[in-house]
């Protein structure tokens, strides 16, 4: 089933995440049914990667954004395993270093975009500079508000040079996030994924939802 049209955001759309069903599962009756179709698509993804790598003319950038607990790591683990690691790279973005802060906010992003024939997956991305930076007032509004256009110009530049950028916001609701935090606390193998800071950020849920909504609406084209 192709849900791309249903969830693709049109340019300039006003987004209200509160009206989006975060529990949507389409026509899949359960997780096993979804996994069966996933296997089919992963095989196709592998074939397409081989073709792109052989042609060495285009590249693919996959951007994953979500609230804490949104499932970015799970997507990377279960879906991206379809790709040959020789032509695929996963980049996670943490708090900028002093060297990165000495440059414009896109500097650290541009240098890790995919080379021709390759795929790069961003676990968080340049959108943090209109999300966490905005929510925590790390720079004035007059600075971060200009970044939407800078991001759009940056991504258009990638497109013009042969890179297709596909952006995903993995939407969960506040209750689901709390339940996932609980799962992490109760499973020894996942406890490293949870910290007090996650609960502190959770208190800013509404601010983040608005920041995400604005970023999605302003940076869809």
What is the residue-level pLDDT of the chain in tens, covering all 221 positions?
Answer: 677 788 899 888 899 999 999 988 888 888 888 888 888 888 899 999 999 999 999 999 999 999 999 999 999 988 788 899 999 999 999 999 999 999 999 999 999 999 999 999 999 999 999 999 999 999 999 999 999 999 999 999 999 999 999 999 999 999 999 999 999 999 998 999 999 999 999 999 999 999 999 999 999 98
Radius of gyration of the chain (CA): 18
Instruction: Tell me if 144 sits within 8 A of 137, measured CB to CB.
Output: no
- Give alpha helix (H) positions in the chain: 4-7, 31-55, 72-78, 98-101, 107-110, 132-135, 141-144, 147-160, 174-186, 196-202, 205-218
23-218 CATH, one of 3.40.50.300, 1.20.120.420, 3.40.50.2300, 3.40.50.261: 3.40.50.300
- Residue 13 neighbours by CB under 8 Å, 6+ apart: 216, 217, 220
């Amino acid at each position: 089933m192709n849900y791309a049209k249903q969830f693709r955001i049109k340019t300039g759309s006003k987004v209200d995440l509160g009206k989006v069903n975060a529990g949507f599962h389409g026509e899949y009756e359960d997780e096993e049914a979804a996994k069966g179709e996933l296997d089919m698509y992963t095989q196709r993804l592998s074939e397409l990667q081989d073709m792109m790598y052989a042609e060495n003319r285009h590249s693919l950038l996959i951007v994953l954004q979500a609230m804490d607990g949104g499932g970015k790591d799970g997507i990377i683990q279960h879906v991206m395993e379809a790709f040959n690691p020789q032509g695929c790279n996963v980049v996670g973005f943490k708090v900028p270093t002093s060297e990165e802060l000495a440059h414009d906010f896109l500097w650290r992003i541009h240098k890790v975009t995919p080379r021709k024939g390759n795929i790069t997956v961003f676990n968080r991305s340049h959108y943090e500079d209109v999300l966490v930076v905005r929510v925590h007032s790390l720079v004035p509004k007059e600075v971060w508000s200009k970044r939407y256009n800078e991001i759009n110009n940056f991504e258009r530049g990638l497109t013009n040079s042969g890179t297709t950028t596909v952006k995903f916001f993995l939407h969960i609701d506040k209750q689901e996030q709390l339940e996932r935090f609980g799962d992490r606390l109760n499973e020894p193998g996942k406890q490293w994924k949870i910290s007090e800071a996650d609960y502190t950020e959770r208190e800013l849920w509404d601010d983040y939802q608005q920041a995400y909504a604005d970023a999605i609406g302003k940076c869809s084209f």
